[in-house]
Amino acid sequence: MLRPSRLSNLKPDEKAEAEKLAETLPALILAAEHLANAYDLGVHGRRRTGVGEDFWQFKQYGPDDAVSKIDWRQSAKREHLFIRQKEQETSESVWFWCDRSVTMKYSSTPQISTKEFRAKVLTLALALLLTKGGEKYGLLGLSEKAVTGPTVFNAVAADLESKQAIPLNILAKSIKLPQKATVVLISDFLTPLEDLKNTLQAFVDLGCNGIVLHIADPAEVDLPFSGRTRFEGMQEEESLTFGRVEILKSDYQDVFREHKLKIFELANSVSWEYVFHRTDDSSSDVLGQIYAALLVKGV
C-alpha cells in the first residue's frame, strides 16, 4: 500500500489511480486471506529427490554422487555403496493468468462479486497456500520469475490489481516458461475458442501442464430474466431488446452448455484439468478443487 507522502509526488491522474488501488487492495487481500485460512492446507510430500528433510529411498552410489551422501550403515548390509535420498522441498513453478477483459467486470446483482474480483481472490488465495507450502509462483506476463514468500505475495497482489493481463491470443507467444511449469488460466472465456486452443497447445509444446478455471456469473448460465429485457454489450456491441426473453431461456441454456463443453474438451484434449465455477457458488469449494488438482500435477 502506498503511503500518503508518496502520493503527493504523483501526477493528478497517477494519484487518482494510486488512491483507487490503495482502497481496493486491502479488501482483495483480506478476502483472499480469509478464504485461504478457511482451507485446511495439510501436509503433502512430492516424492522427488532433493534437499528435503524426509527420507525417500536408498539409491546405489554412482560416480556423480558426493561421498558425503553415502549411508555407511546401509552400505555395510549390502554388496555396494548406497546413498540416502530425501524428498524435494522446492517444487516446480506455478504461473497464473487472471483475465482482465471487460466481460470479467460483470455481475448480475450487487450481492454477487464480479467475475474479475472472484478470479483475483482465488488467485491470491492459491498464492497464499503455495507460499505456506514454500512453492514458487508468478503471474504470466507480469512476474519476471517464479518466487515465493510474504514479500512476493504483496507484490503479486499489487500487480494483479494494478496491471493489465496479456490478452489470451498472444499469451503463450509472448512469454517463456521452464519445462514442467504448471499454468492456471482463469477466465470467463467469452472469446474465440480458437484462441484458447492455440494457447493450450503452445503451453503443451513448452512442456507445461495446467488447469483451466472457467468462471461464469449465474445469469450467464441460467438467463433468469423475464418480460421485456434489453441487453447492452460490454464491448461496443449493439444492444438487443426482447419482448419476452423467457421464451429464449431453453435455447440459450443449450448454447451455454455447448460452450462449456467445448472448453472442457479443449482442456481434456491436452490432459489439462477443467474446473467450472459460478460466482454464486462457494469460493472455498473451488479453491480446494484447484489446489487438489495442483497437488496431483506434482506441485
pLDDT at 88 (0 to 100): 45
Encode the chain (299 residues) as per-residue pLDDT tens digits.
223 333 333 344 444 544 444 455 678 888 888 888 887 544 344 444 444 445 545 667 676 567 777 777 777 777 777 777 654 433 479 999 999 999 999 999 999 999 999 999 999 999 999 988 888 999 998 888 888 888 888 888 888 888 888 899 888 777 778 778 999 999 999 999 999 999 999 999 988 999 999 999 999 999 998 888 888 777 677 778 888 888 999 999 999 999 999 999 999 999 999 999 999 999 999 999 999 888 876 66
Mapped onto helix, strand or coil, the DSSP state of residue 57 is strand
Identify which of 29, 251, 233 has the alpha carbon closest to the alpha carbon of residue 131. 29
d(CA 224, CA 298) in angstroms, rounded, equals 40
Residues 6 or more apart whose CB falls under 8 angstroms from that of 134 comprise 89, 90, 91, 148
d(CA 232, CA 149) in angstroms, rounded, equals 43
d(CA 173, CA 161) in angstroms, rounded, equals 23
d(CA 227, CA 245) in angstroms, rounded, equals 6
pLDDT at 233 (0 to 100): 73
pLDDT at 298 (0 to 100): 62
Give the number of other Cβ atoms within 10 Å of residue 29's Cβ: 21
pLDDT at 171 (0 to 100): 86
Beta bridge partners of 83: 59, 70
pLDDT at 139 (0 to 100): 92
pLDDT at 240 (0 to 100): 80
Tell me the torsion sign for CA atoms 140, 141, 146, 152: negative
Largest CA distance in the chain: 86
pLDDT at 118 (0 to 100): 95
pLDDT at 45 (0 to 100): 44
Task: Indicate where the chain has its CATH 3.40.50.410 domain(s).
Answer: 4-44+91-296
75 touches 208 (CB < 8 A): no
Q: Which three cell numbers stand for residue 13?
A: 491522474
pLDDT at 23 (0 to 100): 55
CATH number attached to the domain at 4-44+91-296: 3.40.50.410
**Identity of residue 49:** T
Q: What is the pTM of this model?
A: 0.75
Task: Please write down the long-range contacts of 250-255, taking CB distance under 8 Å and 24 or more positions apart.
Answer: 252/223, 253/221, 253/222, 253/223
Instruction: Locate the DSSP E strands across 121-272.
Output: 137-139, 182-187, 209-216, 229-231, 240-242
pLDDT at 155 (0 to 100): 87
CA atoms within a 13 Å half-sphere pointing along the CA-CB vector of 7: 13
